[in-house]
Structure 1
Amino acid sequence: MAMGKGSLEEVTELLGKNPLAMRAKDFNGNTPLHVASKHHSRTGVISLLIESYPEALRMKNSNGDTPLHLACILNETAPSYFTCSETQKKDAEEVQLRVVSFLLEKCVDASKDKNDQGETPLFSCLRYHAPLEVVSLLYEKYPEAARINNNIGDTPLHVACKNTSSEIISLVIDKFPEAMKIRNRDGSLPLHLACSNDAYIDVISLLLEKCPETVKAKDGHGSTPLHVACKAGSSLELVSLLIRKCPEVSRMKTLHGDTSLSAACSGQASLEIISLLLETYPEAAMEKNDRGDLPLHISCRLGLKYGCLFKLVTSLIDVYPEGANVKNKSGYTPLHIACLNDLPVGVLKQLLDKCPNSARSKDFVGDTPLSMACWKKISLDRITLLLNAYPGALRQVNDEGDTPLHVACSFEATLDLVSLLLKRWPGAAREVNAKEET
């Protein structure tokens, strides 16, 4: 598609040689006008392409995008936009405004066209960082765009809340304030999306100022903005703001019974956020979700995401030491789950120090943490720790009559692991399970 990217002289020459070239499409269904608009070519080139083939102004590519949709995308035309100088950014924005203005001058109705996602060019502006001047121009040409929902129920405000400045958010709200209370197909308000995308703090402040009751609103999963912020690993500043606005929201639960602390432990929240949640509502450490999981269970299941797992587990155990021996609905204690995930030996030791009896606990099929460790073939230092905590676990059998040695052999454990188990209890080699197997 050299015609869409070339200079005016090159495009004129190409059209002279092949007048039908302006009707050609690439593998994405883009005409030369699509390509020229996407790359914000000089208006002289765009004007020539329109004069040669005016129908292209309303033509759609394979995604349903018109040339105006593509012109409204800023960061795809300038991949280095976020690392370039302020002067270069300003230049890129001015060029985009010039191209969008020219296309609208030639065909203002293109501002009403929807792509395959049900989105007008305004959505493209808001999703792809177009400057305020371009967004304002789209609203001016088609004010009703503010009230349009795309195929998943998002309004322009939903899209803007994901990655846009408070200046643009303010404009979008002014055009259609009711959008702050509109839910998309997931039941999410714009505030939910802003929190899940760690939006600028002034954006969150603006949304809460304009519509304070949304801080307690739940989406289709029963999650409040605080839940989604904690799970997404949003900033401490953002989480703190939500809690200051409504401390009671930290007590609210999702449809699956998760508090914000559970959400934080299941996501990417920082230790500072965990500490803040525990300080705000310490009883959350004792709250089980519908699976019977405490935040401690969840942390041990997903703890590999944390660089400071030991400190995380410490924080939860300090608030609720008895949690180390609590079983979920599968009969798992946090120690079972820690063994399943081969967590660091320091974490296992910490759980055993707080609750030595957890080494004796059996899950719903009768497995002790040692049996589970043998099944997962975790490292020998962890196996040794479990053996020292409860040597009798070697003689415990599960519902199939299997000892830990049976389990280890069934799952092709290493010779070192089998040797360690036999060294601790040589008689294990003669034990017969329910299938009459040694």
Structure 2
Amino acid sequence: NSLSMLSQMSFSSSTSSDINLFGGATSNGPAGTIPTAATAGAPSGASSVAGSTGAMLTPSASQEDGDTVASIGEPASDPNISVIHDAARLTNWDTVLELCNTQPQYAHYAGPDGWTALHHACNRRCPRPDVVEALIRAYPDAMLDLEEKGMTPLHYACRFKAPREAVRLLLELYPRQGRAAVSRRDKKGRTPLFYAIRYDAPDGVVELLLQVDPSVVLEEQTRDANTSPLALAWTVWAEKMEGRNTLRPFLSPTTSSTTAEGEAEATTTASSPEERLELLKTKDKLYKHWKKVHKLLRAAYGFHKPEQGQNREFRILHATANIQCHVSLFQLALALHPEQASQHDFNDLTTEECTVLHLAAASCATGDLARLVIASLIRLYPAALSVPDATDTKSLPLHIIVEKKHRFQDDGIEIIYEAYPQAASIADADGRLALHRAAGAVGVSSKSWSVENNNNNGQNGNNPHQGPMQDSSIVVNLVRLHPEAASVADNSGRLPLHWIAQTCSTWTRECQAIYDAHPAAIRTRTSRQQHARLALHVAAAAPNARNPLLSKLVELNPRAASQPDATGKLPLHLLCETGKEFSEEVYEAFPNAIREAEDNDRAWTALQMAAACSSAEDDSSQRKHQQQQSSSQCIIDKLVELNPEAALLVDRQHGRTALHWACASGKEWDTGLEALLRAHPDAVLHPDKRGCLPFHVAALRYCKVQKEEEGKDPPPVFKNRSTLRARLAPPRPEFTNHVEVLFELLRARPDILGAGMIW
């Protein structure tokens, strides 16, 4: 079918979307820009709005998913194919309504630029809700169709101020498509909410969007704070001269680049919060932006629906402290509501009771803003430093901030520590000190900053009080201030060295600092609850650990390579089980590990574990998947080379060889399967306890993957020339690899097709 379609295709050399369907110039610009119709040369029988001499899109015979698969560069076989599209482009709403009711199939049409009739209606602010509703009902999937800029009709409705009722129909007429459209981003990464705020959509539009999906407000904080909804509602205005002058009576002239002591003294010039609030209401523009911020933050924290706000109190100070926002927004919240600094959050913004200092410690704010917020809150309510939150871990602010921030001096951690140094010696409910928490977050949060970065930070002025050679690492500073913490085990028997071995990928200066503070940790096991593992076992079983970390741990404790953990597994077993690359250092420290089976009922060898490793299958990242496959190839080939007899072994429970497990885990032909077949050619005809040959196992897994793919939501559809090319593209590499495995197994032994399966 693909070859047949390809032979019939003739792609036009013209790709310009600036030629309309009547042969004249057109524009997909702002609302009110209407193309000029030139009906000369229109095919006979076409309506006045359906004539066509330009590039057309002709529907194919198969439209199972509702998309218009079209032939490009040829005149349409049906002269009326674009009739609804062209009527909408000309704002002929009566014709659009009539045709949607009588010939709804024509609503599927999309022009060369990907615009559907619904795109045009939203772009041109169609004033008639009945027309918008008719277009949606005629072709509901148009709500998720993307034109060449990646924009849906909802993007255009919000960008060009379509009536509120039109937006409501886009969101509520078909709720599933409406919810998907709200969170859909165009090619610039912008959501419909961005355009609604940026271009002052009609009253009620922002509220409608927030009711459907308010999460985008806070989600933007981790993407690009400069183009987030909050930045549009506040920052852009606050950084202008008008905004700065208007805010000056409310805020002190202290800037965010002053010292921590100066930041802590930031106050307003007005005498009382009540007077400041009354003054705020007299400033029209400031009050307008303040209300916008309130609206966005209330929605983001679940206060946009009346039933969700019952028995809950929204505190603006808590909300601004918990996010990355413009410094003036937090300062104004503090000036208007200083009493909220001592008020606890009782399941209001969060699910557990905590103070506003806990919320600030957990925020994504860094640098000057983080230091100002933390110093200001400590000044108003220092008791929060010693208050544990109500989560299961009973965490102090210091426990939280060492996990969430990056730099000890720059991000406010030093301020919290100096205000309450005892917190470094107080354990949470799991027995973990601040050092345990920081060590366990190093690899996850990428807090290991190089000395060069620290030098640059000091020289660039992020913190003028940090010397150029001062280390900003959280772990290094905690060890320097409290070296005894490195010898403290938590409730699971894990030392800080165990925690950092579990999260780091290589041996860093943080690892070295913890080891230097307590060298005996390298020979200390965790509790049996954590399988009585040494640091080498922990790293070998960790998903991120790489050879430099493993090599250093072997160097510091070579005997660990020959010692099993409580599950009977050696470090080499754990390394193979997690699909890492082969470690020569671990192998050379105890070569017999290659032949020894794990000391438990399963009794697998390292080769069986590497073959059955399925971590690559569960990884959603294509890059990590390729790395995992490369590591699997390296380790399986190496294990077969060192111990080819292991390919002959059959496990007790399933009766499978390593070749069975490699097929079941999705290994590719050149990532282990070929080596296994060479080591044991007869394995291809060995049935497991269910009667399945390796070929059957591979085929069943292929079917499983296909079924999972079919159950996923379809990808965004760009209604332009690339749509057809994408459909004619070769299959995805993972499916090609599945077919290659089946082909190679058949080529090795064609008679496996005659082998039956016992179920």
TM-score, with length taken from structure 2: 0.43
Q: Is the Cα–Cα contact under 8 Å of residues 401 and 432 in structure 1 kept in the other structure?
A: yes
Alignment-derived partner of residue 333 in structure 1? 605
| Residues in 1 aligned to 2:585 and 2:692: alpha-carbon distance in whole angstroms | 36
| Amino acid in the other structure paired with 2:335 | F
Q: State the superposition RMSD in angstroms.
A: 3.9
CA contact (8 A) 2:473 2:510 kept: no
Matched, 1:313 2:583: yes
Identity %: 21
Aligned residue pairs total 375
Q: 2:374 is aligned with what amino acid?
A: V
Change over 3 Å in CA distance of 1:38–1:369 after alignment to 2: same
Gaps of 5+ in 2: 1-209, 218-229, 252-272, 282-289, 303-312, 449-471, 614-628, 703-737
Residue 432 and residue 109 in structure 1: after superposition, are their counterparts in 2 closer, same or farther (change >3 A)? closer
Q: Which one of the candidate residues 321, 324, 345 is aligned to 1:72?
A: 321
Partners of 1:123 and 1:165 lie apart in 2 by 18
* Contact 1:97–1:133 (Cα < 8 Å) also in 2: no
Can you list the C-alpha shifts for 1:225-258, whole angstroms capped at 9, x where unaligned? 2222222226611111111211221233333223
Q: Aligned runs of 1:333-372 on 2, under 5 Å?
A: 333-341=605-613, 344-365=632-653, 366-372=655-661
Amino acid at match of 2:486: V
Q: Which residue of 2 aligns with 1:218?
A: 489
For residues 323 and 113 of structure 1, do their structure 2 counterparts lie closer, same or farther at Cα, with a shift above 3 Å needed? Answer: same
Q: Is the 8 A contact 1:247 1:280 kept in 2?
A: no
Structure number with larger C-alpha Rg: 2
1:149 to 388, 394, 399: 388
Partner secondary structure for residue 650 of structure 2: coil
> How far apart in 1 are the matches of 2:641 and 2:566?
28
**What does the per-residue CA deviation read over 1:392-426, in whole Å, with 9 as the maximum and x for residues that have no partner?**
54565544566556656776785524424426xx6
Q: Secondary structure at the match of 1:373?
A: helix
**Letter of the 2:545 counterpart:** A
Distance 1:259 1:243 in 2: 13
- Alpha-carbon distance in 2 for matches of 1:228, 1:202: 16
Q: Deviations over 1:94-114 (max 9, x none)?
A: x467436524xxx54311112
Cα distance 1:432–1:132, how it changes in 2: closer, same or farther (>3 A)?
Answer: closer
Q: Indicate if the aligned counterparts of 2:572 and 2:586 stay in contact, CA closer than 8 A.
A: yes
Q: Deviation per CA, 1:318-349, whole angstroms, max 9, x where unpaired?
A: 22222222333433322112222465433222
Q: Determine which of 369, 372, 379 is the counterpart of 2:668.
A: 379
Contact 1:261–1:284 (CA<8 Å) still a contact in 2? yes
Change (3 A) 1:359 1:138: same
Alignment partner, residue 530 of structure 2: 256
Q: Which residue of 2 aligns with 1:204?
A: 475
The answer to whether structure 1 residue 322 and structure 2 residue 592 are counterparts is yes
**1:38-437 correspondence to structure 2 within 5 Å:** 42=247, 50-51=277-278, 61=298, 62=301, 66-73=315-322, 76-78=324-326, 92=327, 95=328, 98-99=331-332, 102-103=335-336, 107-115=337-345, 116=347, 117=350, 118-127=353-362, 128-129=365-366, 130-152=369-391, 153-162=394-403, 163=405, 165-167=407-409, 168-198=412-442, 199=447, 202-233=473-504, 236-254=508-526, 255-257=529-531, 258-265=533-540, 266-303=542-579, 309=581, 312-328=582-598, 329=600, 330-341=602-613, 344-365=632-653, 366-376=655-665, 378-381=667-670, 382-394=672-684, 398-400=688-690, 404=694, 415-422=742-749, 435=758
Amino acid at match of 2:646: S
Alpha-carbon distance, 1:139 to partner: 1.8
Distance (whole Å) between structure 2 residues aligned to residue 410 and residue 68 of structure 1: 56
Q: Are the structure 2 counterparts of residues 417 and 408 from structure 1 closer, same or farther at C-alpha, using a change threshold of 3 Å?
A: farther
Which amino acid in 2 is paired with 1:388? R
Deviates more, 1:277-286 or 1:193-202: 193-202
Aligned-pair distance for 1:144?
Answer: 0.9
Structure 1 counterpart of 2:497, which letter? Answer: L
Distance 1:193 1:38 in 2: 35
- Given that 1:158 and 1:189 are in contact with CA atoms closer than 8 Å, whether structure 2 keeps it comes out as yes
Following superposition, the deviation at residue 142 of structure 1 comes to 1.4
In 1, distance between residues paired with 2:530 and 2:493?
8
Q: 1:17: which partner in 2?
A: none
Q: Which one-letter code corresponds to 1:350 in the other structure?
A: K
- Structure 1 stretch 186-195 or stretch 43-52: which is displaced more? 43-52
Q: Distance in 2 between matches of 1:97 and 1:348?
A: 56
Q: Distance in 1 between matches of 2:314 and 2:518?
A: 42
What CA deviation, in whole Å up to 9, does each residue of 1:10-53 have, x standing for no partner? xxxxxxxxxxxxxxxx867x9xxxx8998677265797772289
Aligned-partner Cα distance in 2 for 1:409–1:271: 34
**Change in CA separation of 1:432 and 1:325 when aligned onto 2, cut-off 3 Å:** farther
Q: Please give the alpha-carbon distance, in whole angstroms, between the structure 2 residues aligned to 1:119 and 1:65.
A: 14
1 CA distance for matches of 2:669 and 2:748?
10
Kindly indicate whether the alpha-carbon contact (under 8 Å) linking 1:282 and 1:319 is maintained by their aligned counterparts in 2. yes
Unaligned runs of 5+ in 1: 1-25, 79-91
Inter-CA distance 393–97: structure 2 relative to 1 (3 Å threshold): closer
User: Residue 354 of structure 2: SS of its match in structure 1?
Assistant: coil
Structure number having the greater helix percentage: 1
State the AA in 1 paired with 2:400: V
Per-residue deviation, residues 245-272 of structure 1 (Å, max 9, x unmatched) = 1122123333322332233232313432
Deviates more, 1:315-324 or 1:384-393: 384-393
- Residues 408/209 of structure 1: CA separation in 2 closer, same or farther (3 Å cut): closer
Q: Label 1:144 to 1:398 Cα distance change in 2 as closer, same or farther (>3 A).
A: same
